[in-house]
Amino acid sequence: MLWVILAIVVLLVIFVIVTYNGLIRSRNQVENAWSQIDVQLKRRIDLIPNLVETVKGYAAHEKDTLDAVIKARNAAMSAPADPHAQANADTQMTGALRQLFALSESYPDLKANQNFLALQEELSATEGRVAYARQFYNDTVLNYNNKIQSFPTLIFANMLKFDKREYFEADEGASEVPKIGF
């Protein structure tokens, strides 16, 4: 009888250790996925000043569009490091960049400028990286949230304060194309 009780205790301890380590691993994967989004968003933010300077030379009288891009960049730089705030800043930045690229259609010299084309290509590549990082983050959050909300893991998750994580979601209207007037 003593061996049976000892075996049950050992199995219970192993189960607790495996469950705890799985929760830690999942939480760390979420943190890593978030840092990948953060890296790509910062990369995009760092490209904005060069893009604005390039456009200024060709479209100096389009001050409102340039100001919107600068304002969106500043908002993205100062946004808190949580998914909802970053998603809001991302939506604002994406809209401002769309306006800026739409503006280039009215300026053939700008559209042909090698610096502008290189920056536009780099921003497009970065947008792809942001989209991939966002998808990876959301998939990781889904797995983590499923784990902490599933029985029996949820017992340990609640005791050890493993909180549900937010998805990185765009605001309503983020997919709408901005209207540009000249």
Q: What does the pLDDT look like over 22-53, one tens digit per residue?
A: 999 999 999 999 999 999 999 999 988 888 88
Mean pLDDT computed over 7-32: 95
Say yes or no to pLDDT of 174 above 90. no
Asked if pLDDT for residue 181 goes beyond 60, the answer is: no
Residues 152-170 have a mean pLDDT of 90
User: What's the CATH fold of domain 2-159?
Assistant: de novo design (two linked rop proteins) (1.20.1440)
128 pLDDT higher than 80: yes
CA-only gyration radius of the chain, Å: 23
State the Cα–Cα distance between residues 101 and 92, nearest whole angstrom. 14
Q: How many CA atoms lie within 13 A of 128 on its CB side?
A: 5
* Per-residue pLDDT at 36: 93
The structural domains of the chain, with segments of one domain joined by +, span 2-159
- The model's pTM is 0.77
Give the pLDDT confidence of 74-120 residue by residue, as tens digits: 998 998 888 888 888 888 888 888 888 887 777 777 777 888 888 88
Residue 20 pLDDT? 94
Dihedral over Cα of 126, 51, 76, 170: its sign = negative
Q: What would the mean pLDDT of 159-178 be, rounded to a whole number?
A: 72
Tell whether omega for the bond before 152 is within 30 degrees of 0, i.e. cis: yes
Give residue for tokens 């010299």: 109
Greatest pairwise CA separation for the chain in angstroms: 88
